[in-house]
Amino acid sequence: MRSLREIVPSLMSVSQEGFPTHLLTAYALPTSAYTLESVGSGHIHDSFRLSFPEAEQAPLFVQRINHRIFSPLPLLMGNLEKVLAHLSARMASQQGHGQLGLQLVYTRDRAAFFEDDEGNAWRLFPFLEGLSSFDLVLSGEQAFQGARSFGYFLAFLSELPPASIPEIIPAFHHVPSRLTLFEDQVSRPFEGRDQTCPAEIAFVRLHADRMCQFQHLQDQGVLPTRLTHNDTKFNNVLLDKKGIGRCVVDLDTVMPGLVHADFGDGIRTAASTAREDEADLALVGLDREKFQGFAEGYLSVVRDLLNPAELSLLGLSGAMMAYLIGLRFLTDYLGGDAYYKTTYPEHNLDRARNQFRLSQDILDQQDELNAYILPRKFYS
């Protein structure tokens, strides 16, 4: 077999050097020429498009799983298999609403993932041709389309008991626990980094009580626990060439949670005027037209599923998620950047500042945002 370097010199990068060629044999794939190309902009796993220019084999989406974060692997992959089985049954029925499910590719030995000699885990999916993801949303209509798919995702998963998918990352969106981790990190910062961000530390503390209310209301049973996606960044929904939302991806964090995590994460990414690491804060804010598009798309599917308490807090949920994700970025910055991929030393701090700016802007517009959510509208 020829080496990867001989075949695609321009595609080589440090992150691809660890590609284990015996993975091809394990999956009964052609061992002729192949190309491996980095795709996506996720902060956790490494993702590639694997194609075989000289063979019949269709291209595959390959992921090296970050097993420091997602562990144990059998639990992660077992959860994924359960979710995919349910979604594919639902989508094959008359009520699939044009949504597409992911399919795992199995090894020759029927394993859901492959472990290489260095202990890295890999998994494969067919590459979904003709579908695209967007880091930045282009219009209110595009936000509507992606949000509809996230809405269907919540609706389909509401047919499974939340407890059937155990938590893979405990307390993932539990704001009080995240605050405890944060305060612990503030008390022992990496290389005095706390000195560089007093305003951000103060922002966290100022809004802590308000942002914890979601958790308190869940604990009291006012907000129901649902099976949620928990990573509904807008780039985790794929749109087809006509701009129709078709497929929700990145399902590793599906677990019991609140609808506010999904709606809020969608808003903080779909309705922001800038990327989440834009360092010029003058460019960061909430775009109301995109907010409206996202809210209408989501609610066109799930309005009747949600109770009045859930609906009344959707307007605030974008502020809560921007706060929570900013809090996680800031905690990682204070701890020396062990969790998120970063490309420069202040990357996590810039992300935190960006998210706090967005959170504040959403707080400042609560009345206007609630006006899009609370009255019932007619949808086509």
**Which parts of this chain interact with ligand GN1 (CB under 6 A)?**
42-44, 69, 231, 233, 250, 253, 276, 325
Instruction: Give which of ligand GN1, Mg ion, none residue 253 binds (C-beta under 5 to 8 Å, depending on kind).
Output: ligand GN1
In angstroms, what is the minimal distance from the CB of 319 to ligand GN1? 15
Tokens of 290: 């995109």
Instruction: Give which of ligand GN1, Mg ion, none residue 325 binds (C-beta under 5 to 8 Å, depending on kind).
Output: ligand GN1
> How far apart, in whole angstroms, are the C-alpha atoms of residue 129 and residue 241?
10
- CB burial readout 279-312, b (16+ within 10 A) else e: beeeebbbbeebbbbbbbbbbbbbeeebeeebbe
> How far apart, in whole angstroms, are the C-alpha atoms of residue 212 and residue 182?
14
> How far apart, in whole angstroms, are the C-alpha atoms of residue 291 and residue 270?
7
In angstroms, what is the minimal distance from the CB of 234 to ligand GN1? 11
Q: Which residue spans within the chain are E strands per DSSP?
A: 35-38, 46-51, 60-65, 114-115, 121-126, 226-228, 237-239, 245-248, 255-257
User: Peptide bond preceding 170: is omega within 30 degrees of 0, i.e. cis?
Assistant: no
Q: Count CA atoms closer than 13 A to 284's CA, side-chain side.
A: 23
Residue 44 or 147: the one with the smaller Cβ distance to ligand GN1 is 44
CA–chain centroid gap for 204, Å, is: 22
Residue 276 or 296: the one with the smaller Cβ distance to ligand GN1 is 276
Residue 231 or 277: the one with the smaller Cβ distance to Mg ion is 231
> 52: closest CA among 38, 27, 32?
32
Residue 253 or 292: the one with the smaller Cβ distance to ligand GN1 is 253
Tokens of 157: 């998963």
Residue 186 or 238: the one with the smaller Cβ distance to Mg ion is 238
In angstroms, what is the minimal distance from the CB of 40 to Mg ion? 9
Neighbours of 146 (CB within 10 A): 31
| Residue 194 found at the interface with Mg ion (CB under 5 A) | no
In angstroms, what is the minimal distance from the CB of 111 to ligand GN1? 23
> How far apart, in whole angstroms, are the C-alpha atoms of residue 72 and residue 50?
26
Tokens of 51: 């194609």
Instruction: Give which of ligand GN1, Mg ion, none residue 254 binds (C-beta under 5 to 8 Å, depending on kind).
Output: none
The interface with Mg ion within residues 77-106 (CB under 5 A) comprises none
Give the type of residue at 1.
M
Q: How far apart are the first and last CA of the chain?
A: 55
Instruction: Give which of ligand GN1, Mg ion, none residue 314 binds (C-beta under 5 to 8 Å, depending on kind).
Output: none
- Nearest residue to Mg ion by CB is 250
Residue 295 or 322: the one with the smaller Cβ distance to ligand GN1 is 322
> 292: closest CA among 372, 346, 361?
372
Instruction: Give which of ligand GN1, Mg ion, none residue 276 binds (C-beta under 5 to 8 Å, depending on kind).
Output: ligand GN1
| Residue 265 found at the interface with Mg ion (CB under 5 A) | no
| Residue 42 found at the interface with Mg ion (CB under 5 A) | yes
Is the distance from CB of 104 to CB of 81 less than 8 angstroms? yes
What is the total count of residues that contact Mg ion (CB under 5 A)?
A: 3
Instruction: Give which of ligand GN1, Mg ion, none residue 337 binds (C-beta under 5 to 8 Å, depending on kind).
Output: none
Residue 288 or 341: the one with the smaller Cβ distance to ligand GN1 is 341
Instruction: Give which of ligand GN1, Mg ion, none residue 348 binds (C-beta under 5 to 8 Å, depending on kind).
Output: none
In angstroms, what is the minimal distance from the CB of 86 to Mg ion? 20
Q: In terms of DSSP bridges, do strands 237-239 and 114-115 run parallel, antiparallel, or are they unpaired?
A: unpaired
| Residue 250 found at the interface with Mg ion (CB under 5 A) | yes
In angstroms, what is the minimal distance from the CB of 322 to Mg ion? 17
In angstroms, what is the minimal distance from the CB of 43 to ligand GN1? 4
The interface with Mg ion within residues 214-233 (CB under 5 A) comprises 231
CA–chain centroid gap for 360, Å, is: 22
Q: Which stretch binds Mg ion (CB under 5 A): 39-47, 105-113, 258-266, 296-304?
A: 39-47
Residue 160 or 327: the one with the smaller Cβ distance to ligand GN1 is 327
Positions in the binding site for Mg ion (CB under 5 A): 42, 231, 250
